[in-house]
């Protein structure tokens, strides 16, 4: 039985894809993608390989904590198993890097239950891409770096107390009140850098917002807090 190939598509720019990922997509028989037809990931894959190879699937809910329990992951894992057993080249693709905050994590257990083996091929993560936008390393030698999704802004002090650099994923879900709390905390604690950064599909969509000096109601991308 063939091995499943799990690949990352990076932050949205084709020129950042490795030749290995491009070759895997070109030689695939089927590419699974957790997305809708309008997603940029679909367009990227379609520009590399036959669009008929792409199989889209989507859970009932995309909320954290709910998505992983959707039965669709078991259905997809079963389909993958059958295809791999028939010696097909099957690929799972996702935005960013397949190893970090990736929907591939929802398939791991169902695939393990079917004794499916896989090989992961990394790509430029959204965290790497944010470093390009802010134009400096996220962390230096000996820094304590913590990357996470912050569920409760009132706990920010707890996490900053054990890290020199705090990187917060999914910033677009923060409310105006939560953004103000983060800004106040960063200013009061004299952070050297507090920003929200978004890496766009081209340079015109990439953006950095300084949270130390700006009053904003809405942000997107990833928040970086550095002491």
CB count within 10 Å of CB 167 equals 21
- Region 90-114: mean pLDDT is 94
Mean pLDDT of 83-91: 97
What is each CA distance from 78 to 82, 84, 177, in whole angstroms? 6, 10, 44
Contact between 149 and 168 under an 8 Å Cβ cutoff? The reply is yes
Categorize the per-residue pLDDT at 67 as very low, low, confident or very high, splitting at 50, 70 and 90. Answer: confident
Angle between helices 105-113 and 72-85 (to 10 degrees): 60
For 167-190, what is the mean pLDDT?
86
Against a cut of 0.85, is the pTM above it?
yes
* pLDDT over 70 percentage in the chain: 99
Mean of pLDDT values over 99-113:
93
| Residue 165: predicted pLDDT | 93
Query: What average pLDDT does the structure give for the chain?
Result: 91
Domains of the chain: 4-121 (3.40.1010.10), 126-226 (3.30.950.10)
**pLDDT on residue 175:** 85
pLDDT beyond 90 at 173: no
Q: What's the whole-number mean pLDDT along residues 144-156? A: 88
The answer to whether residue 64 scores a pLDDT higher than 70 is no
pLDDT at residue 84 in the model: 98
Question: Is residue 177 predicted with pLDDT exceeding 70?
Answer: yes
CA distance 198 to 12: 12
218: its two tokens:
């809405």
**Pairwise CA distance, residues 175 & 177, whole Å:** 5
Quote the pLDDT of residue 47: 96
């Amino acid at each position: 039985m063939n091995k499943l190939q799990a690949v990352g598509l990076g932050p949205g720019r084709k020129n950042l894809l490795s030749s290995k990922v491009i070759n895997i997509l070109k030689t695939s028989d089927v590419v699974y993608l957790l997305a809708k037809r309008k997603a940029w990931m679909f367009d990227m894959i379609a520009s590399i390989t036959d669009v008929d190879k792409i199989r889209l699937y989507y859970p009932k809910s995309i909320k954290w904590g709910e998505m992983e329990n959707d039965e669709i992951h078991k259905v997809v894992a079963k389909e993958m198993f059958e295809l791999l057993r028939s010696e097909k080249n099957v690929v799972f693709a996702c935005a960013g890097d397949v190893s970090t905050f990736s929907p591939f994590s929802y398939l791991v257990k169902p695939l393990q239950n079917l004794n499916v083996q896989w090989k992961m091929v990394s790509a430029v993560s959204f965290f790497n891409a944010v470093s390009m936008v802010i134009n400096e390393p996220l962390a230096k030698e000996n820094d304590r770096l913590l990357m996470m999704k912050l569920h409760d802004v009132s706990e920010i002090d707890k996490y900053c107390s054990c890290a020199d650099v705090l990187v917060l994923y999914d910033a677009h879900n923060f409310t105006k009140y939560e953004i103000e709390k983060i800004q106040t905390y960063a200013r009061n604690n004299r952070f050297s850098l507090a920003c929200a950064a978004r890496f766009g599909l081209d340079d015109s969509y990439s953006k950095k917002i300084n949270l130390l000096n700006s009053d904003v109601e809405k942000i997107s991308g990833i928040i970086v807090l550095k002491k």
